């Protein structure tokens, strides 16, 4: 009798009722509450309610989809994600948001010093990087154009002193050496930014995003300009306008944390008026900054409106006839505002989305020189080599 009465104590009943109420409320919310299609914090599409079909029930896919739906749509989801991040930090975890169960493994992020979040750099386990560099070598040989290849190291490579104690981190100088040893044509130059972007020269990376910041892009511009044979403009020729103080980037999306400080986002503006336009799909747009993105999470897309398969940046004040083909990933988007001051046209192609023949494009548009600006990590992760193949 004593054991039964202890199990029915008021506090036990209260907890049971409270849990039941929460479960019922959560179920009603999932059934009747508003559903989100996209998580800006995580920068991904959210799972929607799965259709109840016999085939899905039999093969188990319905259960998997239902579980993903509940995980993506439960109430106060962002708050619980932040709480989970805080718990992992308190428990001593260094690598957050990683997934080592897939091949190739996907590294997470380190929470570093000075409010920085860093990508975990993993050794290459596929041949993607080598295929990409061989593709760039083929492009160099086939076009014969003056060609500059500028791989940009990651923040965790350049600011290793900010990483947690004993944090493992792959050395991207191995990839730089391979590029130098592979692309050896007389018309090609491999541009080394590793010392330039080191933290002893400044803080050139966003704290919450994987990209270099505006000042890192400016340092890259200076080095590239000198290799290209022209004198870069000094900082005194630009006004760096503070466009946002609330930028949370891609690395924040891997470890949502309410205690994380946001980034400042600066837009460089040349002190002398310039008539610069972007041409995308035959439509012309003034300037390079899409300021509507300042009201969204993806504020980095303020630079050139994000990634397009092909676009042409025209500087109507520059009549030197130089036409640059720029093969790139998103790192180059914040570089173009500096580089476009020296060219009549920059033809910007993102091979991840481009489906035409690149060599025909070079011929048809009278390209005079070319450059490839990619993050080192992108060259390791995304295969673009088939877009550079001949025939």
- Predicted pLDDT of residue 186: 97
Contacts of residue 116, Cβ cutoff 8 Å, sequence gap at least 6: 155, 159, 162, 205, 207
Report d(CA 136, CA 323) in Å as an integer: 19
**Rounded-to-10 torsion of CA 330, 332, 336, 338:** 130
pLDDT, tens digit, 9 for 90 and up, residues 135-192 = 999 999 999 999 999 999 999 999 999 999 888 899 999 999 999 999 999 999 999 9
Report d(CA 118, CA 163) in Å as an integer: 8
pLDDT, tens digit, 9 for 90 and up, residues 48-102 = 666 656 765 666 665 665 555 545 445 545 544 444 554 555 555 677 777 777 7
Please list the ranges in the chain whose pLDDT falls under 50.
1, 5, 30, 39, 42, 70, 72-73, 76, 79-83, 86
- Predicted pLDDT of residue 39: 47
What's the angle, vertex CA 44, arms to CA 42 and CA 49, rounded to 5?
115
323 backbone dihedrals φ, ψ, rounded to 5°:
-125, 115
Share above pLDDT 90 across residues of the chain, in percent, rounded to a whole number:
66
Closest CA to 182 of 359, 372, 355: 372
- Predicted pLDDT of residue 47: 60
- Predicted pLDDT of residue 254: 85
pTM of the model: 0.81
CB 76 within 8 A of CB 127: no
Q: What are the domain boundaries of the chain?
A: 119-388
């Amino acid at each position: 009798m004593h054991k039964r009465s202890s199990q029915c104590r008021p506090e036990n009943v209260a907890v049971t009722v409270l849990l039941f109420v929460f479960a019922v409320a959560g179920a009603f919310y999932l059934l009747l509450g508003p559903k989100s299609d996209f998580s800006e914090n995580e920068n991904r599409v959210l799972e929607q309610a799965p259709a109840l079909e016999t085939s899905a029930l039999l093969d188990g896919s319905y259960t998997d989809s239902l579980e993903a739906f509940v995980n993506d749509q439960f109430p106060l989801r962002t708050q619980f994600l932040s709480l989970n991040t805080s718990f992992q930090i308190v428990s001593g975890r260094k690598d957050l948001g990683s997934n080592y169960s897939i091949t190739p493994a996907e590294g997470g992020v380190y929470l570093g010093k000075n409010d920085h979040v860093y990508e975990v750099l993993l050794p290459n386990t596929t041949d993607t990087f080598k295929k990409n560099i061989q593709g760039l070598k083929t492009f160099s040989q086939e076009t014969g154009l003056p060609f500059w290849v500028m791989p940009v190291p990651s923040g965790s490579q350049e600011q290793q002193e900010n990483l947690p104690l004993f944090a493992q981190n792959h050395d991207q100088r191995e990839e730089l050496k391979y590029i130098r040893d592979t692309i050896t044509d007389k018309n090609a130059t491999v541009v080394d930014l590793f010392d330039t972007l080191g933290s002893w020269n400044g803080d050139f990376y966003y704290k919450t995003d994987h990209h270099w910041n505006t000042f890192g892009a400016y340092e890259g511009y200076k080095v590239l300009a000198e290799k290209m044979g022209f004198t870069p403009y000094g900082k005194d020729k630009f006004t760096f306008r503070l466009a946002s103080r609330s930028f949370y980037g891609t690395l924040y999306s891997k470890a949502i944390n309410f205690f994380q400080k946001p980034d400042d986002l600066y837009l460089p503006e040349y002190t002398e008026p310039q008539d610069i336009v972007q041409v995308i799909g035959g439509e012309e747009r003034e300037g390079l900054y899409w300021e509507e993105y300042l009201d969204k999470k993806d504020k980095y897309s303020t630079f050139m409106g994000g990634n397009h398969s092909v676009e042409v940046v025209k500087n109507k004040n520059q009549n030197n006839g130089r036409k640059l083909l720029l093969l790139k990933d998103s790192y180059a988007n914040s570089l173009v505002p500096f580089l476009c001051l020296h060219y009549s046209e920059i033809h910007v192609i993102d091979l991840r989305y481009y489906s035409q023949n690149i060599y025909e494009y070079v011929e048809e548009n009278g390209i005079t020189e070319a450059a490839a600006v990619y993050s080192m990590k992108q060259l390791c992760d995304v295969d673009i080599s088939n877009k550079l193949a001949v025939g």
